[in-house]
Amino acid sequence: MTQGDANGSDAFDPSVEWDFYAKDDFSNLGAHTGSGSGSGESGGGVVVPPEGPAIGNCGDSATLISAVQGSGAASPEAGKTMVVEAVVSRVTAFASGFYIQEEANDSDNNPATSEGIFVYNDTATDYPVVGDKVRVLGKVEEYFTKTQIRRSSLLACGTATVP
């Protein structure tokens, strides 16, 4: 940081120390003013963390589970963070997660790919229920030769018929 009050014994003035933005607008979350000397920029400016995929809204474009799974023994997307949207078909607290499956109209009808995947809930304590349509943002991983998504965000999108 190159700006701000370095004197810890004087009164705190938020207008000097913080930037203010519109209510409920998170687009600048994590941004800060810096010198830029380590990033190749000179003269300062706003440094914004790199963007990854956002979870988006229900019904937005998402990757099909069949594309995440691929037709081989391991996912071609392993290591990538992706968004999928599908229906919860099974919840298993024992394995710390749940299974989701594409709706029938999203099936690729390819017997070499799978329309379902396990979502590892990691440290999250909230679980959807069977029949919930969910949008999941997470990292694709291979775990004991099985493809899974390590959930980082979950969005409830209503309910749907389990395929």
CATH code assigned at 124: 2.40.50.140
Name the strand (E) or helix (H) holding 45.
strand 45-47
In a domain, 143, yes or no: yes
Based on the domain organization, do 81 and 129 belong to the same domain? yes
Based on the domain organization, do 22 and 83 belong to the same domain? no
pLDDT at 1: 47
Which residues of the chain register pLDDT less than 70?
A: 1-6, 8, 14-52
Task: Give the Cα separation of 68 and 147 in Å (integer).
Answer: 8
User: Looking at 51, 74, 92, which one is the last position of a domain?
Assistant: 51
Ranges assigned E (strand) in 54-163: 81-92, 97-101, 116-120, 132-143, 146-159
Based on the domain organization, do 28 and 86 belong to the same domain? no
pLDDT at 3: 59
Based on the domain organization, do 93 and 135 belong to the same domain? yes
Domain count across the chain:
2
pLDDT at 91: 95
In a domain, 59, yes or no: no
Based on the domain organization, do 46 and 79 belong to the same domain? no
pLDDT at 93: 74
pLDDT at 2: 54
Based on the domain organization, do 46 and 126 belong to the same domain? no
Based on the domain organization, do 46 and 82 belong to the same domain? no
Domain containing 37: what range?
1-51
In a domain, 69, yes or no: yes
Q: How far is CA 117 from CA 12, 16, 100, 101, 146, in A?
A: 50, 49, 6, 7, 9
pLDDT at 95: 82
Task: Give the Cα separation of 55 and 98 in Å (integer).
Answer: 18
pLDDT at 5: 67
Based on the domain organization, do 27 and 106 belong to the same domain? no
Phi and psi at 147, nearest 5°, equal -80, 135
Based on the domain organization, do 131 and 69 belong to the same domain? yes
DSSP code of 21? Answer: -
Based on the domain organization, do 133 and 82 belong to the same domain? yes
